[in-house]
Structure 1
Amino acid sequence: MQQEQNAISNFVLYGAESNAPHDDMVHYEPISLRASLFDFEIKPHVHRALIQVLYITHGGGETSIDGRTWTFQAPCLIAVPAQSVHNFHFANDIEGHVVTAAQPALESVIMALAPDLLEFVRTPAVLSGILNLDKGTPLETVFQSIRQETLVDARWQLAAGAARMIALFVKVGRLSESAKLAANPEQRTLADRIEKFRALLDKHCRERRAVGEYAKDMGVTTGQLSRICHAAFGTSAIEAIDARSIHEAKRLLGYSTMSVKQIANELGFQDEAYFGRFFRKQVGERPTEYRSTAQERFLLG
């Protein structure tokens, strides 16, 4: 086994061995550029500290990552973490993008911003058939922005590259979760209901609506809505409604010139005193105290 491991080539980029450090690199190239140099056969190899993400836009092939084999067809997203032994057999008409980045540097930034994304940085993934569920910035745009940044020689290029790689792994994480839901119809139904409830909360956050009204709009019973909230937020339905109302109250207190009385009316409360008691119970401060603290932070920041 040790001899077999030693036989695996360690590349910076496939076919380009180097002992130079690449801790700050973010590299982009079209998939076909390197694949065509090796007759579209990329033999088993490993990248010591580099992670690669491929976005297949045309064609297909087969890949093996750490002993697991996938057949893929465009559109498809493939993530290969550092230290993963992998190979590719590409169709001759393969097209798409591949980015390579220093995984330790990427992980240090993600640890500070979104630690739960680390799972997707460290886990091999082949995601196909669910790219139609992608939301937000299109994958093509994300890869093109990485490509564009690598073409310029400007200040803060490392920071710009890291930011774009984080955006890419947000996509990887979202699509990975969508893939899990797609494989579990019950989870998919739950996710759809959670998304609908969130949309209703956003729409009606300035109204003091009862749990029953939300349940009716969703076509479920109040008991079902309560179970949905416990599954999604770990709270009851009324606690989720109150939390969204408080979020809106904080936003208005911090960023508007409306009086507390006007905010209470705007959010559907009976009067200013009732709103004040509600806010203090939820936040631990009076609305005026919260506004003063928020404005101080704004002036200092």
Structure 2
Amino acid sequence: MIQHLSASTLNPGLTQDVEVVEIAGLLSAVEWDFPVAKAMRGANGFVLAAGRGTLRLNAVVAAIEAPCVIWLPSGVVSRVRLDAGARGMMLAVSNAALGRVVPASSIAGQLREAIERPLPGIRLDAGAARGAIRDLEDIRREALDELPGMREAVMGRLWLTLIGFWRLGGVATQPQASPRLLVQGFVQLVELHAREHWPVADYARVMGVSTDRLTTAIRRATGQSPLGLVHRRLLEDAESLLERSSLQVREIADALGFRDAGYFSRFFSRLKGISPGRYRKRIHSLNANRTQSYAAWP
């Protein structure tokens, strides 16, 4: 039996921005899901002292084994599965806290860049794992004790924890998805977010790859650019609505996420070679002629 958990909801008692949860003596496998909507709100980290499991990071599934550290930055779609008996700590940090915790210093820029990249189950030695867990335990203890200066103490300890993750990330490499998995993952995201008009860079970020790598994989597999595939999906939806619904063109534009009907009409005309209104009339005329043809049958 597997227990499924959603992305952590930050506890107001823990500064409203930082939450630390102990993972101890699991009697059954547990999964945490971090979908796009949740992942956009903040980052999540795990330090495991014992146990095994799997990490799904965008389109890549990899085995994880303690002692190890996982860091899942904002915007990364992921799932962490831990087998029964796993032990460690989980950290959830809001984007607001991440924005405040990094002070002006000589490493600030490097640290901000580092915490935007995943750490996919980087192995630690036992001593480093114990130290990282102690850091998280200190954050949890400060938050629960609620002594004067609690918030400042929590943020200070979080700063030290992030430095530790940054040091690990300096020698870490992210597992690379195959081109086939990249294409599959991209197509799935397009199905979900085409109408939100994400730029290609956002798709690449959520998939944990560079824009250049995503573009290369999509072009080699389909002969089109990522943006071309997004536009094709929007065009298919537009054609379906024009053919099968009674919505006005401005309503269709709104349903597909275009900022106005004029922009939608230019988009449709550029890709289809005909305006939305003329396309609808042509389809209705063809359907009417087909119906009349059938009616003439004996």
Shorter-normalised TM range? 0.3 to 0.5
Q: Which has the higher contact order (CA 8 A, sep 6+)?
A: 2
Please report the TM-score for the alignment, with normalisation by the length of structure 2.
Answer: 0.48
